């Protein structure tokens, strides 16, 4: 190979390629199969048969593909042009899905869905195509004999030109306004194409230097709308034509590539989850389709940008592997997806509370002061996040005894105040002050056991010489076409390594030496540490990692903040702020021969796997600690790959105090909910400053807090370590106004409003904690997120795809019935008002519950579904107006539990009773879950994630209370039923007392409820422990009933 053909840095094809460059080159790919020459399938029902429920395709160009069905309406498309036989495709799954092998995954999904099915293969009579249909049956016997079956999904494999087409029999979407009776005959299911490729859909470039560029082209219908896409930012929940990059990247401020900031959804972000949902492709029919690309490395998506009639999906390494799901509605789609990738284990209840973090709480006194000030301000607080300031010389798993003396005592005192602590744990194992005689057990033991990633490189195509190595990254530089230009770093230059580097004599000494790979992490300014990285893709090293937490948790740490996960290595040590693209790392196979080292691939090929295993190692390690026996563990992580949500929640990285970042926050959380992430959110108020501003704009902080009132993750987090910001805690704005009287005249009204408004909305969140917890618990059962897009909760409202689509970006529904309309613009733009939309066909009531211990306000007149109106939500410290700073609405028939406001979750002295608010209108049901909020044994045991052997402590030690409302004429029938009780009367009484209060709100146009009667399961009237009254002040019927429900079921009938 001539020196001119050697690759390095920008010329190295293993490095990241922006989507625009990929698709420009891909348009010229000449290679790809034209026709099917043979099909292999099997009628076997044995899980070990690789062709069970599958078709293996042989093509005219000598390549092969395989298409599997995972369930009756979920299929998997795999294509790798380097494979020449069907047997080349492994039946071992990636780490992102639930089971180790394909057969086990299919069996587990079949068991969870309780569905009997098989496939039926048929060549067409004219020889033009083959079909592989999924057929469902009512019994095992019918399935085994293939009789009395119903076809669910048909996969058509057209021979020449080769293309794929999938059909399902779809129900007609119910109409909001009924059609005339003589048109009912048209409302019959119809077989429709739900997914199809173009002709010759696969294109590829022959593999070179392990790069395996493959692209799949799928037809895009003109009416279709697309959403999901994981963490990727962008301005709208429904995506406009774009080209998107998926590649875990430490992309501070979301502008490292295109330099446009958070509204540009092309930026690769911290978390990679190439998953998207297609809706409205078949108007009038009930169908949604989703695609998940299972690839740890770079994935690019062209969403109708190059060609309006297609979606193109590209992968650069490994083979092409995608799951496509079709369902009648989004709820069933999410169920299908989360049966593949899993659902999170049940989180501790305090996770839903208010959290405060700061890079700059540098001493024990800082922590104690902030907690004392929160308590003095009466703003509830549950979590305190301590950054790397806590560590001894940036040594992971340590603490600084000088700045944080008596850490066990500190944690104990904070816990007595109701505050649980976490600290920042990054994957680097520091070399700072190495060899100075003091002991760092993690480093020393890791070296002794050969647990660190060795510096061995894939050298093909390069000179193999360290002096020729160049690393690449992006920093907002653009060419004349506005496309990203990579930057090169020469690691041989001393100027390329950070100022904190101490022990890196020369890059050449370590390069490809087999010694531990030498990297490092920067913590801002000139702070950071060089270090080694444990090989977390090896199970024994993951066990070692988990054991390192023991000292911290025995001292009283409660949860983990997993940071720098990508792994955010300084640019002088690797590519794309990560490992060198050509560094060999372990592949983490499910099965290895005893005594044999695991196989290896380059870091570029396995880019997201390391961060996935980082979260996994932490979660499973904490579960094994003796001091964590039967305690739920929680990690908040900064990014990885799909499936990571089984182990951790996700915060969306280093944002800033700008309106653009607040604007995208709601859409990000909603999009992440589609892919199964239950706990997700942004740093409220922004982590970094907006330019030279020293604190978050008070207008912005008010809107961020009030609009996030029911978002799952609620953490204020900012940087003040080197003077970037001065403060961001809500009460500090009061102090700042006091100390700066010169701003009183112009800005006093705004600064003085921050603390009371933030206090109110945090307190409101705590009063609705049972609602949030019920939805988090429910996620275990059905996979649905805590907060949901209106497209999930109101699927009949077709205007959400058209003239009302912009409301999807800032409005969300907690559960099914409580609508929050966040304000995402400054008062200088909207003059304190916003357009608000309540979806049709249901009617809505202005949210009337308060935090003062009262039942609430009488209902305002009903708002008709489909209404668009201007809402006065101006900022004011007036207590009467604060509840209207963020518009909130309750659906007719809604059921909302409320509790008293306490300063932290877990304060049960005295017990915190539950009031159930039942709204007039449609019939409805609601499931409420009562447990201790902390133990692993209280989690439900008959759900998919608890069948997985990683954590099998679930024992269903909870009580489920089903609340239902039925309106018959003018009477309201409200029934409470204990459908499951593994918790017990004593525990329930300790937590919530002995009685429920049930409030039946009455529409202002309806008559008062004068009587209330109570009956048990048998219909016998009961009076013991029950009471009813009409509260004229709030216009509601109010009943009290015993929580034990007199035999487990009690019905209240309220009549005028």
pTM above 0.95, yes or no: yes
Predicted pLDDT of residue 70 = 98
Predicted pLDDT of residue 308 = 97
Tell me the C-alpha distance between 576 and 487, whole Å.
Answer: 10
What is the SS3 string spanning 325-344?
Answer: EEECCHHHHHHHHHHHHCCC
Do residues 301 and 381 share a domain?
no
Predicted pLDDT of residue 183 = 63
Do residues 114 and 255 share a domain?
yes
Q: What is the CATH number of the domain that holds 126?
A: 2.60.40.1760
689 backbone dihedrals φ, ψ, rounded to 5°: -75, 160
Tell me the C-alpha distance between 277 and 229, whole Å.
Answer: 8
Computed from CA positions of residues 651, 657, 661, 663, in that sequence, does the dihedral angle turn out positive or negative?
A: positive
pLDDT in tens, 409-459: 999 999 999 999 999 999 999 998 776 657 899 999 999 999 999 999 999
pLDDT at 877 over 80: yes
pLDDT in tens, 531-577: 999 999 999 999 999 999 999 999 999 999 999 999 999 999 999 99
Query: For residue 706, is it within any domain?
Result: yes
pLDDT in tens, 31-63: 999 999 999 999 999 999 999 999 999 999 999
pLDDT at 711 over 60: yes
Contact 215, 312 (CB under 8 A): yes
Instruction: Give Cβ neighbours of residue 776 (< 8 Å, ≥ 6 apart).
Output: 346, 347, 352, 678, 679, 712, 786
Last residue of a domain, one of 341, 369, 398: 341
pLDDT at 349 over 80: yes
Predicted pLDDT of residue 952 = 82
Q: What is the CATH number of the domain that holds 616?
A: 3.20.20.80
Last residue of a domain, one of 341, 364, 396: 341
Q: What is the CATH number of the domain that holds 965?
A: 2.60.40.1180
Tell me the C-alpha distance between 904 and 354, whole Å.
Answer: 8
Contact 430, 393 (CB under 8 A): yes
pLDDT in tens, 379-392: 999 999 999 999 99
Tell me the C-alpha distance between 542 and 561, whole Å.
Answer: 17
What are the tokens at 747?
Answer: 């800005």
pLDDT in tens, 603-649: 999 999 999 999 999 999 999 999 999 999 999 999 999 999 999 99
Predicted pLDDT of residue 2 = 60
Predicted pLDDT of residue 525 = 81
Do residues 629 and 778 share a domain?
no
Tell me the C-alpha distance between 366 and 410, whole Å.
Answer: 12
Predicted pLDDT of residue 826 = 97
Q: In whole angstroms, what separates CA 1031 from the centre of its chain?
A: 43
Tell me which H or E stretch contains 987: helix 985-992
Residue 853: CB atoms within 10 A of its CB come to 8
Q: Which residues pair with 592 in a beta bridge?
A: none
Q: Which domain holds residue 141?
A: 30-204+210-341
Cis ω for the linkage preceding 910 (within 30 of 0):
yes
Query: For residue 266, is it within any domain?
Result: yes
CA dihedral in degrees (264, 265, 269, 273; nearest 10)?
170
Mean pLDDT (the chain) is 95
The two beta strands, 288-293 and 519-522, are: unpaired
Predicted pLDDT of residue 432 = 86
Do residues 979 and 1013 share a domain?
yes
Query: For residue 625, is it within any domain?
Result: yes
Q: Which residues pair with 310 in a beta bridge?
A: 219
Do residues 420 and 297 share a domain?
no
Do residues 719 and 825 share a domain?
no
Query: For residue 11, is it within any domain?
Result: no
In the chain, pLDDT over 90 holds for what percent of residues? 93
pLDDT at 811 over 60: yes
CA dihedral in degrees (769, 772, 773, 779; nearest 10)?
180
Predicted pLDDT of residue 1046 = 83
Contact 245, 258 (CB under 8 A): no
pLDDT at 683 over 80: yes
Do residues 40 and 139 share a domain?
yes
Do residues 227 and 356 share a domain?
no
Do residues 504 and 606 share a domain?
yes
Do residues 251 and 290 share a domain?
yes
Contact 774, 745 (CB under 8 A): no
Q: Considering just the CA atoms, what is the radius of gyration of the chain in Å?
A: 29
Predicted pLDDT of residue 797 = 96
Predicted pLDDT of residue 908 = 85
What are the tokens at 337?
Answer: 């997806």
What are the tokens at 375?
Answer: 């308590």
In the chain, pLDDT over 70 holds for what percent of residues? 98
pLDDT in tens, 491-534: 999 888 888 987 676 899 999 999 999 999 999 888 999 999 99
pLDDT in tens, 198-235: 999 999 999 999 999 999 999 999 999 999 999 986 67
pLDDT in tens, 904-962: 999 988 999 999 999 999 999 999 999 999 999 999 998 876 556 677 899 999 999 99
376 backbone dihedrals φ, ψ, rounded to 5°: -65, -35
Tell me the C-alpha distance between 670 and 627, whole Å.
Answer: 35
Last residue of a domain, one of 298, 325, 341: 341
Query: For residue 296, is it within any domain?
Result: yes
Predicted pLDDT of residue 485 = 98
Q: What is the DSSP letter of 534?
A: B
Query: For residue 8, is it within any domain?
Result: no
176 backbone dihedrals φ, ψ, rounded to 5°: -65, -40
Query: For residue 897, is it within any domain?
Result: yes
Q: How many domains does the chain have?
A: 3
Residue written as tokens 């940071």? 563
Do residues 998 and 1045 share a domain?
yes
**Mean per-residue pLDDT, 882-887:** 98
Do residues 328 and 392 share a domain?
no
Instruction: Give Cβ neighbours of residue 1052 (< 8 Å, ≥ 6 apart).
Output: 972, 973, 974, 975, 998, 1000, 1012, 1013, 1014, 1026, 1028, 1039, 1041
Predicted pLDDT of residue 830 = 85
Predicted pLDDT of residue 848 = 98
pLDDT at 184 over 60: no
What are the tokens at 463?
Answer: 């000179």
Predicted pLDDT of residue 495 = 87
pLDDT at 318 over 70: yes
**Mean per-residue pLDDT, 851-875:** 98
Tell me the C-alpha distance between 339 and 109, whole Å.
Answer: 6
Query: For residue 9, is it within any domain?
Result: no
Tell me the C-alpha distance between 424 and 561, whole Å.
Answer: 5
pLDDT tier, 178 (very low <50, low <70, confident <90, very high otherwise): confident
């Amino acid at each position: 190979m001539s020196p001119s053909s050697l690759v390095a840095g920008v010329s190295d094809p293993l490095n990241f390629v922006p989507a625009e460059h990929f698709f420009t080159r891909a348009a010229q790919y000449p290679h790809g199969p034209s026709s099917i020459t043979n099909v292999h399938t099997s009628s076997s029902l044995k899980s070990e048969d690789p062709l069970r429920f599958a078709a293996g395709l042989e093509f005219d160009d000598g390549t092969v593909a395989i298409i599997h069905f995972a369930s009756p309406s979920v299929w998997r498309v795999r294509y790798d042009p380097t494979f020449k036989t069907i047997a080349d495709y492994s039946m071992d799954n990636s780490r992102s899905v639930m089971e180790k092998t394909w057969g086990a995954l299919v069996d587990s999904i079949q068991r969870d869905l309780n569905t009997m099915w098989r496939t039926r293969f048929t060549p067409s009579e004219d020889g033009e195509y083959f079909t592989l249909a999924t057929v469902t049956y009512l019994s095992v016997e019918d399935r085994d004999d293939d009789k009395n079956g119903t076809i669910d999904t048909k996969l058509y494999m057209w021979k020449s030109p080769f293309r794929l087409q999938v059909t399902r029999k779809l129900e007609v979407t119910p109409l909001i306004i009924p059609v005339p009776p003589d048109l009912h005959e048209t409302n019959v299911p119809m077989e429709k194409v739900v997914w199809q490729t173009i002709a010759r859909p696969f294109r590829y470039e022959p593999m070179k230097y392990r790069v395996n560029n493959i692209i799949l082209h799928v037809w895009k219908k003109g009416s279709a709308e697309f959403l999901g896409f994981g963490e990727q930012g962008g301005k709208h929940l429904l995506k406009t034509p774009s080209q998107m990059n998926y590649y875990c990247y430490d992309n501070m401020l979301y502008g490292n590539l295109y330099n446009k900031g958070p509204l540009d959804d092309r930026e690769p972000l911290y978390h990679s989850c190439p998953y998207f949902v297609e809706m409205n492709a078949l108007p009038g029919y009930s169908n949604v389709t989703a695609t998940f690309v299972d690839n740890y490395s770079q994935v690019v998506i062209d969403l109708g940008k190059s060609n309006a009639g297609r979606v193109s999906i590209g992968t650069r390494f490994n083979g092409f592997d995608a799951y496509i799901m079709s369902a009648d509605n989004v709820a069933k789609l999410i169920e299908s997806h989360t049966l593949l990738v899993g659902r999170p284990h049940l989180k501790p209840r305090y996770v839903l509370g208010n959290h405060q973090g700061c890079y700059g709480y540098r001493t024990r006194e800082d922590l104690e002061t902030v907690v004392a000030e929160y308590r003095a301000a009466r703003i509830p607080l549950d979590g305190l996040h301590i950054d790397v300031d806590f560590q001894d010389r940036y040594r992971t798993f340590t603490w600084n005894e000088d700045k944080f003396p008596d850490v066990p005592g500190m944690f104990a005192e904070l816990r007595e105040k109701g505050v649980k602590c976490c600290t920042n744990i990054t994957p680097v194992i520091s070399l700072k002050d190495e060899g100075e005689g003091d002991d760092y057990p993690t480093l020393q033991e890791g070296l002794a056991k050969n647990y660190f990633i060795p510096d061995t490189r894939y050298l093909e195509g390069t000179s193999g010489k360290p002096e020729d190595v160049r690393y690449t990254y992006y920093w907002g530089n653009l060419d004349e076409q506005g496309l990203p230009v990579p930057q090169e770093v020469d690691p041989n230059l001393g100027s390329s390594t950070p100022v904190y580097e101490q022990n890196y004599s020369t890059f050449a000494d370590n390069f490809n030496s087999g010694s531990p790979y030498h990297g490092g992490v920067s913590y801002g300014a000139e702070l950071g540490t060089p270090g080694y990285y444990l090989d977390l893709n090896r199970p024994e090293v993951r066990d070692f990692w988990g054991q390192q937490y023991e000292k911290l948790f025995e001292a009283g740490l409660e949860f983990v903040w997993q940071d720098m996960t990508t792994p955010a290595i300084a640019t002088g040590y690797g590519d794309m702020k990560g490992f060198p693209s050509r560094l060999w790392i372990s592949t983490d196979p499910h099965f290895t021969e005893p005594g044999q080292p695991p196989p290896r691939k380059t870091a570029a090929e396995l880019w997201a796997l390391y961060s996935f295993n980082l979260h996994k190692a932490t979660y499973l390690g904490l579960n094994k600690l003796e001091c964590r026996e039967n305690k739920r563990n929680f990690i908040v992580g900064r990014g990885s790959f799909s499936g990571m949500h089984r182990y951790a929640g996700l915060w969306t990285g280093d944002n800033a105090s700008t309106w653009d970042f607040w604007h995208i926050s709601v859409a990000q959380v909603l999009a992440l909910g589609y892919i199964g992430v239950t706990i997700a959110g942004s740093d409220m108020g922004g982590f970094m400053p907006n330019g030279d501003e020293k604190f978050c704009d008070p207008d912005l902080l008010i809107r961020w807090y009030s609009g996030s009132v029911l978002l799952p993750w609620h953490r204020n987090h900012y940087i003040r370590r080197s003077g970037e910001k001065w403060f961001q805690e809500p009460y500090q704005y009061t102090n700042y106004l006091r100390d700066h009287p010169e701003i009183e005249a112009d800005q006093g009204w705004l600064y003085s409003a921050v603390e009371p408004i933030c206090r109110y909305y945090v307190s409101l969140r705590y009063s609705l904690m049972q609602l949030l917890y019920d939805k988090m618990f429910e996620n275990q059962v059905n996979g649905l997120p805590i907060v949901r897009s209106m497209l999930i909760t109101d699927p009949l409202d077709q205007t959400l795809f058209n003239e009302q689509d912009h409301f999807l970006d800032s409005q969300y529904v907690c559960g099914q019935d409580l609508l929050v309309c966040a304000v995402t613009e400054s008062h200088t733009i909207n003059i304190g008002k916003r357009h608000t939309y309540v979806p049709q066909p249901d009617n809505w009531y202005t949210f009337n519950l308060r935090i003062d211990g009262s039942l609430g306000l009488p209902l305002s007149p009903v708002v008709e579904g489909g209404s668009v109106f201007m809402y006065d939500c101006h900022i004011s410290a007036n207590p009467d107006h604060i509840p209207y700073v963020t518009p909130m609405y309750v659906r007719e028939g809604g059921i909302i539990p409320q509790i008293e406001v306490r300063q932290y979750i877990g304060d049960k002295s005295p017990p915190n009773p539950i009031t159930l608010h039942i709204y007039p209108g449609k019939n409805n049901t609601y499931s409420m879950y009562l447990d201790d909020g902390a133990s692993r044994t209280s989690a439900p045991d008959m759900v998919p994630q608890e069948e997985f052997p990683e954590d099998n402590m679930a024992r269903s030690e909870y009580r489920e209370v089903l609340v239902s409302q039925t309106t018959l004429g003018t009477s309201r029938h409200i029934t409470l039923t204990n459908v499951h009780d593994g918790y017990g009367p004593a525990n329930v009484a300790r937590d919530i007392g002995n009685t429920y209060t049930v409030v039946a709100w009455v529409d202002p146009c309806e008559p008062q409820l004068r009587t209330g009667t109570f009956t048990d399961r048998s219909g016998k009237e009961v009076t013991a422990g029950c009471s009813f009254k009409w509260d004229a002040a709030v216009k509601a019927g109010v009943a009290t009933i015993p929580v034990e429900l007199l035999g487990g079921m009690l019905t209240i009938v309220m009549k005028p």
